[in-house]
Amino acid sequence: MTRVFSGIQPTGHLTLGNYLGALRRWVETDQHQADALFCVVDLHALTVDQDPARLRRLSRQTATLMLAAGLDPEVCTVFLQSHVDEHTRLSYLLECVASDGEMRRMIQYKEKVARQQERGASVRLSLLTYPVLMAADILAYGAGEVPVGDDQVQHVELARDLAARFNQRYGHTFVVPKATRPGVAARVMNLQSPTAKMGKSDESGLGVVYLLDEPDDVRKKVMRAVTDSGRDVEYDREGRPGVANLLEILAACTGGNPEALADVYESYGALKKDTAEAVVEVLRPVQARHRELCADPAFVEGVLREGAKKARAMARPTVDAAYRAIGLLPPA
């Protein structure tokens, strides 16, 4: 059976995009595959400036929300990236098979560099090498499938390339992984600027729905979503991105399909109202479970401790094999 690995960065409060694009699928299908691993990728968060106290808080909150959404530590492994040294050990070896040019071509690198420069912040070297560490996250476990939203597909392709290149140069060591993406809501867009992805480290405000938003805030954000100048409800991602985004969110929340839903609605107002209620209903059980888990922090800590132990045992043999294959002597 294929092993699954995926992760979320503790860079902000989790959004509806993280839920529909990643988390919900992990819960519904991926965790039931053999030895699935889900990781709070805290080292990745350090590719941009983070306040230490906030990072600690968000790492706990992200792990808690993963469990609240329904990841079951009895069937899968949930852990923090920084608790398993194999990720950084392997990342260095992969830096030795990756090239500077291929890193600089990564779309997300270019986007995040532009954002850093707008803020007048310097660009961390780790932002450039981030996809290599992500490749190490995946390859260390021999994961065959990586369920991600659209924005991460290019990085999984890079992990594929690095695995194949390493295997070809040094002998078969890694499983060559592939990305899997959701059929609908693979790229939830910002409600205020629907040509940009909804992201948790974006400036917040009305465009981003957070998993822990109060129902009335969700309603307000969805009702004020930017739509298009047209009048008919049509599903056209290029021409009518605002309405298409709402249709996709509604479809993802209700199990429908966006084209068919477009025929059902005659006004933007009705579409927004139903979308808002559908989102509120999807978030309700996650928020309730999150409240319960917050009352029991020792449980969450125990899950992460056990998770790290299991993850380390799974990663170790592969990473050791990579060290030997590339020509490093084992310690005496």
Binding residues for ATP: 9-11, 17-18, 149-151, 188, 197-201
Q: Which stretch binds ligand ATP (CB under 6 A): 7-15, 29-37, 123-131, 164-172?
A: 7-15
The distance of closest approach from Cβ of residue 185 to ligand ATP in the complex, given in angstroms and rounded to an integer, is 6
Q: Which stretch binds ligand ATP (CB under 6 A): 9-17, 163-171, 276-284, 285-293?
A: 9-17
Rounded Cα gap, residues 159 and 300, in angstroms: 30
Q: Which stretch binds ligand ATP (CB under 6 A): 14-22, 74-82, 274-282, 305-313?
A: 14-22
- Closest CB to ligand ATP among 135 and 148? 148
22 binds ligand ATP (CB under 6 A): yes
199 binds ligand ATP (CB under 6 A): yes
Tell me which of 2, 50, 116, 201 binds ligand ATP, using CB under 6 A. 201
151 binds ligand ATP (CB under 6 A): yes
Q: Which residues are catalytic?
A: 112, 197, 200
Rounded Cα gap, residues 310 and 307, in angstroms: 5
**Binding annotation for L-tryptophan:** 137
9 binds ligand ATP (CB under 6 A): yes
Indicate the pairing of strand 77-80 with strand 145-147.
Answer: unpaired
Residue 168: both structure tokens together: 């070809």
Tell me which of 3, 25, 87, 200 binds ligand ATP, using CB under 6 A. 200
152 binds ligand ATP (CB under 6 A): yes
148 binds ligand ATP (CB under 6 A): yes
177 binds ligand ATP (CB under 6 A): no
Number of residues that bind ligand ATP (CB under 6 A): 21
241 binds ligand ATP (CB under 6 A): no
32 binds ligand ATP (CB under 6 A): no
- Residues of this chain that interact with ligand ATP (CB under 6 A) are 8-9, 11-12, 15, 17-18, 21-22, 148-149, 151-152, 186-188, 197-201
